[in-house]
Chains A and B, each alone.
Chain A
Amino acid sequence: MSDLLLQTDRLRKEFGGLVAVDDVDFTVPTNAIVSLIGPNGAGKTTFFNMLTGVYKPTEGRVIFAGEDMTSKPPHAFTQRGIGRTFQNIRLFQNMTALENVLVGMHVRLKGNLFEALLRTPRVKREEAEARERARELLEFSGLRRRDDVIGRNLSYGDQRRLEVARALATQPKLLLLDEPTAGMNPQETGDFTKFVGRLREEQQLSVLLIEHDMRVVMEISDRVTVLDYGEKIAEGTPQEIQKNERVIEAYLGAAAVSS
């Protein structure tokens, strides 16, 4: 089982009477790119939120790198190595790009209140190194010379890039991207797809992707999982998914299959 980075065991989430995620078993192997697709309202983002501790599952377990993470707080997930972005960008809008990335490093830094008060040599060194690393990350993410720009003043594409840079700053083993190419033009989408590929090659990351752009999904995914009404209806390689009747039905309606 050592090649499974993330595993869910009959994961379930109910909001009142509504079953948003219905007993989903799911795995992400190490160093793989896995996509999660499904029509609007299929429960993809709810599923994501359970994988990062933002929602508590009603039932079931989340196992990350062999450790049961169910009902742990979000920062514990980050600590163990799950980084994420948000569907509707959630940057710290009034902090600079550099500060955003520095917040992402929070769990990897150690300086406490008393060291900060005394500004001990250790804290000074740690802060200087963190800033240096944050600059490198911004450059790696295509945000050269944007260090001191306030989050809200960045262009839309740059805000998406900054969200990824901030998630990378947490030094994740698994990166969760929630519709990263939403609102991007084809050129930007192409660049982004290459960037995700580079993350796997250069940083040995696993990536879990929620995505609506099927070209992106089919191009970079090793495996695809399809959710519909909270249920997992299909799982397999991109080629298998493209031919799967239940998937076509879920997207286009039953009539499309029978006719």
Chain B
Amino acid sequence: MRRRIAGAISGGWWAALGAVGLPRERWLALPRPARRAVKAAIWVAIALVLVALFGVWKTSALAVAVVVLLLVVPRYENLTIRGVLVGKWITPVAVLGLAIAYPYYLGSMPQVPIFGPFPAMSTMVVMMIFTMMALGLNFVVGYAGLLDLGYVAFYAMGAYMAGWFASSQFANRNVNLGAVGLYPGATGLHFSIWLVLPMAGIATAIVGVIIGLPTLRLRGDYLAIVTLGFGEIMPQIARNGNNLFGFNLTNGTGGITPIDGPGFGNWLDQHLHLPSNYLNAANFDNLFFWTSLVLVLLTIFTSARLRDSRLGRAWVAIREDEVAAAAMGVPLMRTKTWAYATGAFFGGVAGAYYASYKSGAFPDDFFFNISVFILCMVILGGMGNIWGVIFGACFLSYLDREGLANVGAWINGHFHTHIDVPLYEFGIFGVILVVTMLFRPEGLIPSQRRAAELHEGVHDEPLYDVVTE
């Protein structure tokens, strides 16, 4: 991707030089400092144009700095310092730095044509949560090639874990394990959210294994249909779980609310200035954003490490040719179940975190369309590619929260129409998906391997009674 952009820019660059009477040879014959000075002058000019257009000098300078860093510094990806390859970290670190600082420069960002303002902090939190879920689904769909249409079940499971262990749902049991922001005499189970997140992940992974064991024997379409079923069963249990043999598990359609927020407590607040309770903090959304960024980083770390491991190779092998993988000694059931459990883990953590952010878990949040929504993110961005999935998740959840409304306002403002664009959300996503599949089936930022498979097809003839485990 970067190379293609760089190629287009350098092509334009040589054309422009030729137009002012400096063909390639003559330009390269100039002394290097002179060439650098000309280049720098051009970037300054671009910055000035940006300032003139948008009137915001800080962001223009920042944008130019990033562009210079990413595109003009030659072959920075191969930069080594004392034999250690540091170049490959430059882009990720730059992106991470921009993300961490986002709350500070958001206020001075200009309006983008058509799309309006940059996403607000509350939208950024949701974008990060969906990024985490999409990366989780990527283990199943992108790496192992198993079509899962019921991922929302894991999201729901995580959210209800937060509901059970960090609210007053079970009022006749009083436990407080490091929870923050409780009023005196609060009843119910109140575990610290920092504890609830891994608990939710593990519980969801276990549910993933339980669901996976009977279903993962199936292949292709059949697996998709069964996962679809599980995606419907979980929200139904949530909706009707207010009287399970006389026991109120989920509080039915009312959902579980309020759910405790995260926080580090008073002692850490006094000694290390870590926020004692997110829900009381003035920069509430920023805290949730930075925390979600940490969770996303953990997910990326896991994705990258597992992709390059023995297990990751086995996933890809199953995706490419299940029969050959089995014949080479890859245990199909176990390997697929690991993919399922890993994906479920991150779905659960994201669900619990989201429940804590919204301070509630409601059955109506877990419709089938969420499964499809997350699947769209993975497909649009590029199955199997971490950067692609992140992009797809951020872009689609941004459209969902703000983008479509902004675009709609722009359309109505310019054409004097009264179209409620967000109403057509899933139609628009459908069109995006169809266009993606037609013109770029591997997604916007594909993994190289996946691109080859989708263009050439994989060699996977069904054999009718493959023994699994």
A90-B459, A92-B316, A92-B321 given; name 10 further pairs at CB < 8 Å. Answer: A54-B467, A56-B465, A73-B468, A75-B331, A92-B325, A95-B317, A104-B328, A106-B329, A111-B310, A117-B301
Give the most central of B310, B314, B321, B325: most A CB within 10 Å. Answer: B310
- A-binding segment of B106-114, B228-236, B427-435, B449-457: B449-457
Give the most central of A92, A104, A109: most B CB within 10 Å. Answer: A92
Q: Across the interface, name the chain A residue whose C-beta is closest to B342.
A: A113
In the complex, the answer to whether B326 meets A92 with C-beta atoms within 8 Å is: no
Q: Pick 12 A–B contacts, CB within 8 A, sort by A.
A: A56-B465, A73-B326, A93-B453, A93-B456, A94-B452, A103-B328, A106-B329, A113-B338, A116-B308, A117-B301, A117-B302, A117-B305
Cα of A119 to Cα of B312 in the assembled complex, Å: 13
In the complex, the answer to whether B327 meets A74 with C-beta atoms within 8 Å is: yes
B69 at the interface (CB under 8 A from A): no
- B-binding segment of A20-28, A78-86, A181-189: A78-86
Residues of B close to A106: CB separation below 8 A: 310, 313-314, 317, 328-330
In the complex, the answer to whether A73 meets B316 with C-beta atoms within 8 Å is: no
Q: Quick one: CB contact mask for A65-104 with B, threshold 8 Å, 1 for yes?
A: 0000001111100110000101000111111000100111
Cα of A116 to Cα of B311 in the assembled complex, Å: 8
Specify which of A71, A78, A90, A99 is in contact with B329 (CB 8 Å cutoff).
A78
Chain B interfacial positions (CB closer than 8 Å to A): 301-302, 305-306, 308-314, 316-317, 320-321, 323-333, 338, 342, 449-450, 452-453, 456, 458-459, 463, 465-469
In the complex, the answer to whether B313 meets A99 with C-beta atoms within 8 Å is: yes
Known: A95-B449, A99-B313. A78 touches B327 (CB 8 A): yes
Specify which of A71, A79, A116 is in contact with B309 (CB 8 Å cutoff).
A116
Cα of A90 to Cα of B312 in the assembled complex, Å: 19
Cα of A251 to Cα of B463 in the assembled complex, Å: 28
Q: Across the interface, name the chain A residue whose C-beta is closest to B448.
A: A94
Residues of B close to A53: CB separation below 8 A: 326, 467
Known: A73-B469, A75-B332. A54 touches B309 (CB 8 A): no
Residues of B close to A225: CB separation below 8 A: none
Residues of A close to B328: CB separation below 8 A: 78, 103-104, 106, 166-167, 169-170
Q: How far is the CB of B360 from chain A (nearest CB, A)?
A: 32
A107 at the interface (CB under 8 A from B): yes
Q: How far is the CB of B371 from chain A (nearest CB, A)?
A: 25
A49 at the interface (CB under 8 A from B): yes
Known: A56-B467, A92-B321, A150-B452. A117 touches B306 (CB 8 A): yes
In the complex, the answer to whether B327 meets A94 with C-beta atoms within 8 Å is: no
Cα of A166 to Cα of B456 in the assembled complex, Å: 22
Q: Across the interface, name the chain B residue whose C-beta is closest to A150.
A: B452
Specify which of B311, B327, B458 is in contact with A113 (CB 8 Å cutoff).
B311
Residues of B close to A109: CB separation below 8 A: 310
Q: Across the interface, name the chain A residue whose C-beta is closest to B326.
A: A74
Residues of A close to B326: CB separation below 8 A: 53-54, 73-75
Residues of A close to B314: CB separation below 8 A: 103, 106
A8 at the interface (CB under 8 A from B): no
9 A-B pairs with the lowest CB-CB distances in the bound complex, closest first: A78-B329, A116-B309, A107-B329, A74-B326, A90-B324, A94-B449, A92-B320, A75-B331, A103-B317
Cα of A22 to Cα of B450 in the assembled complex, Å: 42
Cα of A20 to Cα of B325 in the assembled complex, Å: 25
A112 at the interface (CB under 8 A from B): yes
A35 at the interface (CB under 8 A from B): no
